[in-house]
Chains A and B, each alone.
Chain A
Amino acid sequence: MTDDITTPRRNFVKGVATGVIGGTLAGMGFYSYTNSAYSRLPKVAREQQEFGAVRSVKVTAISETSWFNNAHLMEDIQKSGGLLVDQYTIGWGPFGNGKGPGKGSYEEGIAKIKKMIPGDLEEAWALQEKSSLHPDNPGGFSTLIEVEDLDGSKHKYLLDTGWSYAWMDQSFKREGIDQMLKSGEIEALIQTHEHFDHFFGFPVAMKYNNKLPLYIHNGFYKEGRQYIVDSGYKGDPIVVDKELTPIRPGMMLMKFDVPIICRVFGETSLAFNVKDKGLVLISGCNHQGILQMTSTAMKKLKYDNDRFYGLYGGLHISPFEDWDPKYDDLVISLGKWNFEKVGCNHCTGHLTARKFIERGYPVVRGTARFRSSTPDYLGNGDTITFG
């Protein structure tokens, strides 16, 4: 083993084995996080797909109060086992089964009320109030979008259907949504994602129109798809499976495949090109992140002035009035994107809205009516127009 010929060779091999690890590590350590390494990153070409334009977009917050007492909501989530627990099993209306937090099931919940939806929602909700957790807490998120085409014609869309049957029916009536649904004036329902506060009120829309075109994300779970059927929907849902789905000229549905708390998968949001103004983004919760959405739109779409004009929606930052340093990253960076008009509410969180305002961002204030809790952002019944 130690004869004269093999020893130098063996030493050489030992050196090579050690040197390879050392050399690789040196490259990793001294080059990876340097400017020159980053100058090599491939430049991403902007696709800038044309998708037409609209004259204006008017948004009405039918309801942005998803729940009325945050501590109660969090209590239910905590007792059920935290943020990853399946929303259908938490025990919330309309899927309460009376067995306690975290012990509910879609089947048991729906069995109790199946006969009553969508015809007899009052009775269904009243029954659910007996077996669900914190029955007075649910509100809901739902938004009316009125698009004005370049020719002046107007088109209405409903974004999400809220949560509590009682609260949503009342909110729909307050804003005249019931009539718009009945008359077919609302051209489609866009269900952004499967979350309880955006979707559990689905039968309320069905009560007034169970045939209108419906868009859902292809990440909807089987319970959600069943709920659509059980709610008496008679149409054929349009299951969105592409990144971009045009709704009408100047209006694009964007799909994001993201896993979300309470066992929900994926969200869709809307992008508009407002003539002579620029890009407007409207979301339900925006679990994908507003800047993620903005940068995706920047890469994929072509819009006037190449400018970010407006933003509306739940911006899912501190929905439970919780905080994380990464939210500060957003608060700090949002200014650079120069949005002209920011309309936010719902899961944006009060603290986030206040931090936006403190930084001088153009947050449009609300009127704090109909149980909305702050004038810092757009509340129930408030409107914002882009264009």
Chain B
Amino acid sequence: MEAQNRNISYLESRKLVKRWRGPLPAIANLLMIFALFGVTWWIFQDPRGIMRMYTPYVGYMICRWMLILLIWVAYIFDFWPFKRSWLNKAHPVTKGVVLTTVSVVAMMLLIKGFFMGLLGQYGIAYFSPDRLHAMGLTEFYAEEYSTEAIMMFAAIASWLAPSWVVACENAPWQKLTQPARGITIAVVTFFLSTIVYFLTMHSHMAILFDPWQKYTAITPPYWEGFANTVSGNFHIAWIMSCTVTVWVYESIWERYPFNLIKTNWLRRTSAFFGIIAVALCMCFFIYYAQDLMWGETVRGTRREMAPDWRWLHVGETAIFWLVGVLGLNFYGGNWPTKFSRPVNVFLRTIISLLIGGAVYVLYYKYAHLFLGTQKGFAHPQQFPMIPMIWLINIALINQWFMDGWPGWKAVPKTETELNEVESAVIAHDVSWTPSLARGLAVGATAGVTIYFGVINILPWISQNVQIIK
């Protein structure tokens, strides 16, 4: 039976096979990705380059929405309206160009048509640069404010849209065909994103104006006491952690451990909320880790010492990990694969953290030499997420749209492999036994010990290691 008829998505129906043996494919792809990054960065983003969208918020908005569009095309719409036969036959480069162009056009329609046009003209003024400008803001800040708001929306969608596919397994619409399923899930996740937007970012936008827009938004925002700031960056922290956790769960964790749950609704719900729980753990830890490294925040300061920046930096740090995660998954063959799944998951977690940590260090040490930015951790107008997401977007285009060309090629999965895809939703490789329970207890104790070890060592590291000279 054809994969499509069995409702297996294109990405799951193909197998990426290395074209050459050894590390050559990974080297070739990484080289291509970095070359594409360099060229497109110069054309679109670089403050010394051609279009200079890194104003910063215009470029920030573009890279985030591009990510959403890639997710929509590949994950939510399963490449509809493109035919499966075309996806299987067309040259990867042709596919890459066509699908990227479609994504960009759709993104522009959404930004200009929906947010700035419809919503900005007839609903909420701050989505429209024209309206803000007409009310007396400088043209520059009119554009920065509205693109900031639109960008924040994308941040939320970058967590919720893939969550519905990865955690909720498209339920309850998994049986619908395209485009009905895509439209349904896009609409539902868009709706949820809207709610989360109002609960998290609307107040942030409302206090950009004087006086605070208290009749339309809760001001000062409800999180002020908890987060020690009125800035919506507090939400960026946990929402970006959620985005990262979704992909960790999907790629290097292979949906472990929630895929052990056999009851469909319970598995899906646990995965959805489990991702949030993991993200919150990560979020609070990264915030605390910064306080251990740089000293406790002082509210009202700027940059490294300010709570709002530290929350932002939680999200930034998480994204560095995502680079490590996707790098390992795409170009490292999700290594290792030879042990049992929990062991693989554990080792991949460590490896991806090491890669992410290395990218973090390299970024802060050297990125300013290439990106047209300046050195330093905190610059009020610099966002490391812009280059990182830009890089991730290019890797996703390479992986999803171009089947990993040139190092890899797509081969349709065999009947047996397709059956495995279907049965892999529920994992059977770990079951409850006394020895597993003992292992869990020992592991958990070790985990807690590791945690306390790390928080004890961080202040020492901050005393002895200097990333930026």
Please list the residues of chain A having a beta carbon within 8 angstroms of any beta carbon in chain B.
Answer: 7-29, 31-33, 37-38, 40-42, 44, 70-71, 74-75, 77-78, 80-86, 89, 102, 257-261, 263, 265, 287-289, 291-292, 295, 320-326, 328-334, 351, 355
The one of B138, B375, B445, B446 that contacts A70, using a Cβ cutoff of 8 Å: B138
**With A11-B435, A32-B287, A82-B58 as contacts: A325 and B208 at CB distance below 8 Å:** yes
Q: What are 21 A-B contacts with C-beta separation under 8 Å? A: A8-B434, A11-B439, A15-B437, A20-B443, A26-B451, A27-B285, A32-B289, A33-B284, A41-B295, A75-B139, A82-B52, A82-B55, A84-B54, A85-B52, A258-B379, A261-B379, A263-B374, A325-B204, A328-B207, A329-B230, A332-B230
CA distance A292 to B302 in the complex (A): 7
Of B72-80, B95-103, B341-349, the stretch lying at the interface with chain A is: B341-349
Contact: B231 with A326, CB < 8 Å?
yes
Judge whether B441 is part of the interface by a CB distance below 8 angstroms.
Answer: yes
- The residues of B that contact A12 with a CB separation of less than 8 Å are 435-436, 438-439, 442
- The residues of A that contact B141 with a CB separation of less than 8 Å are 74, 320-322
Quick one: which of A13, A16, A29, A321 has the most chain B CB within 10 A?
A: A16
Judge whether B382 is part of the interface by a CB distance below 8 angstroms.
Answer: yes
**Which partner residue on chain B sits nearest A261 by CB separation?**
B381
- The residues of B that contact A37 with a CB separation of less than 8 Å are 288, 455
The one of B207, B284, B374, B442 that contacts A265, using a Cβ cutoff of 8 Å: B374
Judge whether B11 is part of the interface by a CB distance below 8 angstroms.
Answer: no
The one of A23, A89, A328 that contacts B444, using a Cβ cutoff of 8 Å: A23
Contact: B444 with A32, CB < 8 Å?
no
Contact: B138 with A84, CB < 8 Å?
no
The one of A20, A263, A322, A326 that contacts B306, using a Cβ cutoff of 8 Å: A326
Give the distance to chain A from B458, nearest Cβ to Cβ, in Å.
11
CA distance A82 to B372 in the complex (A): 12
CA distance A239 to B305 in the complex (A): 26
Judge whether B1 is part of the interface by a CB distance below 8 angstroms.
Answer: no
* Residues 135 to 159 of chain B near chain A (Cβ within 8 Å): 138-141, 143-144
Contact: A15 with B436, CB < 8 Å?
yes
CA distance A84 to B144 in the complex (A): 13
Judge whether B232 is part of the interface by a CB distance below 8 angstroms.
Answer: yes
The one of B56, B208, B280, B375 that contacts A82, using a Cβ cutoff of 8 Å: B56
Contact: A295 with B305, CB < 8 Å?
yes
Contact: B47 with A19, CB < 8 Å?
no
**With A23-B445, A37-B288, A320-B141 as contacts: A84 and B372 at CB distance below 8 Å:** yes
Give the distance to chain B from A298, nearest Cβ to Cβ, in Å.
10
Contact: A295 with B139, CB < 8 Å?
no
* Residues 29 to 67 of chain B near chain A (Cβ within 8 Å): 47-48, 51-56, 58
- The residues of B that contact A355 with a CB separation of less than 8 Å are 210
Give the distance to chain A from B270, nearest Cβ to Cβ, in Å.
14
The one of A29, A85, A292 that contacts B301, using a Cβ cutoff of 8 Å: A292
The one of A21, A261, A322, A325 that contacts B230, using a Cβ cutoff of 8 Å: A325
CA distance A150 to B157 in the complex (A): 63
Contact: B345 with A17, CB < 8 Å?
yes
What 1/0 flags go to B371-387 for Cβ under 8 Å of A?
Answer: 01111101111100000
**Which partner residue on chain B sits nearest A328 by CB separation?**
B230
Judge whether B296 is part of the interface by a CB distance below 8 angstroms.
Answer: yes
Contact: A23 with B47, CB < 8 Å?
no
- The residues of B that contact A257 with a CB separation of less than 8 Å are 376
The one of B140, B209, B450 that contacts A75, using a Cβ cutoff of 8 Å: B140
Judge whether B433 is part of the interface by a CB distance below 8 angstroms.
Answer: yes
* Residues 179 to 215 of chain B near chain A (Cβ within 8 Å): 204, 207-210
**Which partner residue on chain A sits nearest B377 by CB separation?**
A259
CA distance A37 to B290 in the complex (A): 13
- The residues of B that contact A292 with a CB separation of less than 8 Å are 298, 301-303, 305
Judge whether B106 is part of the interface by a CB distance below 8 angstroms.
Answer: no
- The residues of B that contact A40 with a CB separation of less than 8 Å are 455
- The residues of A that contact B379 with a CB separation of less than 8 Å are 258-261
* Residues 389 to 444 of chain B near chain A (Cβ within 8 Å): 430, 433-444
Give the distance to chain B from A144, nearest Cβ to Cβ, in Å.
27
**With A16-B439, A16-B442 as contacts: A323 and B288 at CB distance below 8 Å:** no
The one of B140, B143, B451 that contacts A24, using a Cβ cutoff of 8 Å: B451
**Top 8 closest pairs, chain A to chain B, by CB:** A15-B439, A19-B443, A23-B447, A81-B52, A82-B55, A27-B451, A29-B281, A289-B302
Contact: A26 with B447, CB < 8 Å?
yes
**Which partner residue on chain A sits nearest B443 by CB separation?**
A19
The one of B210, B430, B446 that contacts A16, using a Cβ cutoff of 8 Å: B446
Quick one: which of B140, B210, B345 has the most chain A CB within 10 A?
A: B140
CA distance A157 to B346 in the complex (A): 62
The one of B143, B229, B459 that contacts A325, using a Cβ cutoff of 8 Å: B229
Give the distance to chain A from B238, nearest Cβ to Cβ, in Å.
11
**With A28-B282, A41-B296, A83-B55 as contacts: A22 and B302 at CB distance below 8 Å:** no
Contact: A21 with B340, CB < 8 Å?
no
Give the distance to chain B from A112, nearest Cβ to Cβ, in Å.
22
CA distance A15 to B280 in the complex (A): 23
- The residues of B that contact A22 with a CB separation of less than 8 Å are 440, 443-444, 447
Contact: A26 with B444, CB < 8 Å?
yes
**With A19-B441, A20-B446, A258-B376 as contacts: A326 and B381 at CB distance below 8 Å:** no
In the complex, besides A81-B51, A81-B54, 18 extra interface pairs with C-beta distance below 8 angstroms are A17-B340, A25-B447, A29-B281, A29-B284, A32-B288, A32-B455, A37-B288, A38-B296, A41-B295, A42-B459, A74-B139, A78-B138, A82-B55, A84-B55, A84-B381, A330-B300, A330-B301, A333-B299
**Which partner residue on chain B sits nearest A83 by CB separation?**
B381
**Which partner residue on chain A sits nearest B285 by CB separation?**
A28
CA distance A324 to B447 in the complex (A): 39
- The residues of B that contact A334 with a CB separation of less than 8 Å are 300
What 1/0 flags go to B215-239 for Cβ under 8 Å of A?
Answer: 0000010000000011111000000
Contact: B342 with A326, CB < 8 Å?
no
- The residues of A that contact B53 with a CB separation of less than 8 Å are 82
- The residues of B that contact A322 with a CB separation of less than 8 Å are 138, 141, 144
Judge whether B351 is part of the interface by a CB distance below 8 angstroms.
Answer: no
CA distance A292 to B300 in the complex (A): 8
Give the distance to chain B from A357, nearest Cβ to Cβ, in Å.
13
Quick one: which of A17, A321, A323, A328 has the most chain B CB within 10 A?
A: A17
**Which partner residue on chain B sits nearest A323 by CB separation?**
B208
The one of B55, B58, B342, B382 that contacts A17, using a Cβ cutoff of 8 Å: B342
**Which partner residue on chain B sits nearest A44 by CB separation?**
B295
**Which partner residue on chain B sits nearest A23 by CB separation?**
B447
CA distance A28 to B285 in the complex (A): 5
Contact: A24 with B447, CB < 8 Å?
yes
Judge whether B110 is part of the interface by a CB distance below 8 angstroms.
Answer: no
CA distance A9 to B439 in the complex (A): 9
